[in-house]
Structure 1
């Protein structure tokens, strides 16, 4: 009896230990799948950033935006950052004891992306898109005569109103602006001219008489010019 008791007594402890091992959760499996999803996402971001110059559509305000972005090296820099992040994720996934650092690798990659790609990219886009408009807006404010209207022809830029703090009349095509100027010449003859800010391909100078328009300034893909109303008054 004593022998039997000695043999069977430890059994509950062994069974309990086995049960604990079977019911113990496996967090590494969750880390593996989340890390794998994270790897796919990071690779997709790296590819998108690297190929972004080819994915940009045509912008009439900045016709050479694609080339400017490519020459800046920002897409290449972004692709390298996220590529290195993907490599770090692969390394951490292969090391079971290091998988808990997966999100730290993402955080480092995101901070590097913010500093070396997103911030300079924002300033680059602001420079090529808004800076020319901002410069011409300042010149328009200086050059505008009392009662002289400011008209913008082409893609509508509401920011021009903000930069000039003046009323701006927008037209998509110069032909519509021309009709408006003709009407304005009759209704407001006291102001002999209007200021027109237009994209190069929409200046409409072919519709004007020689000497009727005068270029004041040019910046980026925009031209600021003064158009006289006098020929329209003579026609009337």
Structure 2
């Protein structure tokens, strides 16, 4: 119909043309109504009332370069499998578009996105940054969520650093009151500690320790 309409008023072609129908699998109703004949992996011939068409079950197709146009119709685990396979065979822009439009699992989508980490090639990194900027500009809601997440992380980091600083100061204060001297390497060890549980343990031990080494065990 499209070919005839585009070539009006004198279409150069008239007649029947075979159809290719592509779906993840062969639906049960089709099998019951027409008994499709499988003639290749994922390919079925259907002949309702003499008008033959082909049904392509994308989930059954092998992962081959020439079948990518059909493989994008996969679903479920088969789609995840295709995504992992094709990601290394297509440019970044193609893969990002695939992730945007195909309903892959969250796990697979995140796995593929992590493949696009920082690179030592400045040209590749510049292209990636540009793509991310375009995507963010097209999604104001995502921008807002990232900003909110950044603020939350900043607040959380500030609170955590404040607690660590207080714990370090408490260890030093208790040891000083007990007249236990800290060597430079002991003080550096306290300053370098970023685990609150360890600093709290050192604080408890400082109350009864005979020396700095015993306190910082």
Name the TM tier (shorter chain).
under 0.3
Q: TM-score, normalised by structure 1?
A: 0.24
**Comparing both structures, which one devotes a greater share of its residues to helix?**
1
Q: Which has the higher contact order (CA 8 A, sep 6+)?
A: 1
Q: TM-score, normalised by structure 2?
A: 0.26
Q: Which structure's CA Rg is the greater one?
A: 1
